[in-house]
Amino acid sequence: MSIEISPSYFDFSKLHQRMQFYIDEEILSCCATLIMRGTEVLDYKTYGFMDLESKRPLLDDAIYRMYSNTKLVTSVALMMLWEKGAFQLDDPLEVYMPNFKDMKVLRSGAKLSDDVVPAKQKISIRHCLSHTAGFSYGFIEPNSVIDKAYAAGGLSVISDASVSLEDFCDRLSSLPLAYDPGSSWRYSVATDVCARLVEVLSGKAFDEFLRENIFQPLGMRDTDFWVPQDKTDRFITQYAPVDIFDPMKPGLTKHDDPITGEYNTKRAFLSGGGGLVSTVSDYLAFLKVLVNGGIWNGVQLLKPETLSMMRTSQLADGVKVAFPMWSMPGTGFGLGFAIKLETKKDEPEAALDEYHWGGMAGTHSWMSPRTDITGFCLTQRMPGFWHPFSHEFKSIVYKLAEQ
């Protein structure tokens, strides 16, 4: 699917030069950038290569591992069922998934995973959508008591795709929570729980629900949980840095192969938190739904008021988004989106209310209601989340929007 570019008076040369710098310095193997005002694409450009070995130029219809950009799709899918009256946001999760009844929480200061107390309140679906349920991820803080418990329980979403969503959630329900539901924020497998909830409420496999209700209606032909053989020539090779602790150090090594890698067979685990592959044009159709009041090309996924609620922070007073390795001050979280509640000194006021999220390999999308600008930048670098290339992209775009 081609991407139509609308004429504009903006000069994008500085952006193009800076993104090319990351390719020339071998910090990134590839990059694509797209800027949209309203639903009109003002600029789209690709940089770099499908793979460093052949130096084949990056294709317009290249397939990317979207990782946590999947979370936005999953959240929209679940909220589509909410609009149909399938559940209420404050319903206890256990109503639909009984294994999550009588959950335990790690005692404050616990040294072992069996040092627990009863949870003070039940996990709600709102908690799951906003990452306040008390779940963890199992790899972000590998030395923590809770993540060690996840590893011991076989809950590794980054290496084990052999279990179904149902089995995954059954295992998850046997582990303690990191904190009482609603009392804190922790990035987690909560969106995978949301994916399983879609299955329970709809009676369909998660991939089937997405295909019938989002992908096919929007014409997202290349978006799926795996890449079939006839598409592997469009699947980008993924690389890792030679020094994970120095994001600007040149040098890359192959991390996932497009032909023999982890996405080349159908997997049991349909991760709602990070399992999708997609193209720029496919995901662009989804982004247009988000910025256009829930509808695009005659396909209405959500009502405008539902999207507005999703872009409103659901966190309790004093609770903010926090990572041990990435600073995200002034950030709240809605029903699937991070939300900028305060700006830093080097950020424009126009960035307030921006809603966004990105994938681990560097696929970032952000929408700015105050400027009506959407930014989308992609690479395949593990890790590439919160990388300087995406911050520079955003900074340059906001400066253009101020003109």
pLDDT in tens, 100-116: 999 999 999 899 999 99
- Please indicate, yes or no, whether residues 123 and 187 belong to a single structural domain of this protein: yes
Q: What is the Cα–Cα distance from 117 to 286, expressed in whole angstroms?
A: 42
With H, G, I as helix, E, B as strand and everything else as coil, classify residue 300.
strand
- Please indicate, yes or no, whether residues 113 and 201 belong to a single structural domain of this protein: yes
- Please indicate, yes or no, whether residues 205 and 243 belong to a single structural domain of this protein: no
- Please indicate, yes or no, whether residues 167 and 19 belong to a single structural domain of this protein: no
- Number of domain units in the chain: 2
Alpha helix ranges (H) inside 174-329: 190-202, 206-210, 216-218, 280-291, 304-310
CATH number at residue 306: 3.40.710.10
- Please indicate, yes or no, whether residues 319 and 283 belong to a single structural domain of this protein: yes
Please provide the average confidence, as pLDDT, over all residues in the chain.
94
- Please indicate, yes or no, whether residues 70 and 158 belong to a single structural domain of this protein: yes
More confident site: 282 or 142:
282
- Please indicate, yes or no, whether residues 375 and 311 belong to a single structural domain of this protein: no
**What is the pTM for the complete model shown?**
0.96
- Please indicate, yes or no, whether residues 399 and 374 belong to a single structural domain of this protein: yes
Quote the pLDDT of residue 157. 64
Q: What is the Cα–Cα distance from 150 to 161, expressed in whole angstroms?
A: 15
* Residue percentage of the chain with pLDDT more than 70: 99
Above 80 in pLDDT, residue 160? no
CB neighbours (10 Å) of residue 25? 12
- Please indicate, yes or no, whether residues 18 and 83 belong to a single structural domain of this protein: no
Domain boundary among 342, 364, 388: 342
Least confident of 101-115, 135-149, 320-334: 320-334
- Please indicate, yes or no, whether residues 115 and 213 belong to a single structural domain of this protein: yes
Instruction: Identify which of 243, 242, 263 has the alpha carbon closest to the alpha carbon of residue 253.
Output: 242
With H, G, I as helix, E, B as strand and everything else as coil, classify residue 403.
coil
- Say if residues 269 and 164 touch (Cβ distance below 8 Å): yes
Q: Which stretch of DSSP H or E encloses residue 296?
A: strand 295-296
Quote the pLDDT of residue 344. 84
Above 90 in pLDDT, residue 401? no
Instruction: Name the band, by pLDDT with cuts 50, 70 and 90, for residue 1.
Output: low
AA identity, residue 209: F
**pLDDT tens string 24-41:** 999 999 999 999 999 999
**pLDDT tens string 191-238:** 999 999 999 999 999 999 999 999 999 999 999 999 999 999 999 999
Query: What is the domain range of residue 85?
Result: 63-223+267-342
Domain boundary among 313, 342, 371: 342
- Please indicate, yes or no, whether residues 186 and 312 belong to a single structural domain of this protein: yes
Quote the pLDDT of residue 134. 97
Above 70 in pLDDT, residue 264? yes
Instruction: Name the band, by pLDDT with cuts 50, 70 and 90, for residue 158.
Output: low
Q: What is the Cα–Cα distance from 235 to 237, expressed in whole angstroms?
A: 7
Structure tokens at 170: 């059954």
Quote the pLDDT of residue 162. 85
Domain boundary among 325, 342, 359: 342
- Please indicate, yes or no, whether residues 283 and 135 belong to a single structural domain of this protein: yes
**pLDDT tens string 275-288:** 999 999 999 999 99
Q: What is the Cα–Cα distance from 163 to 392, expressed in whole angstroms?
A: 38
Q: What is the Cα–Cα distance from 160 to 162, expressed in whole angstroms?
A: 6
Least confident of 41-50, 62-71, 153-162, 306-315: 153-162
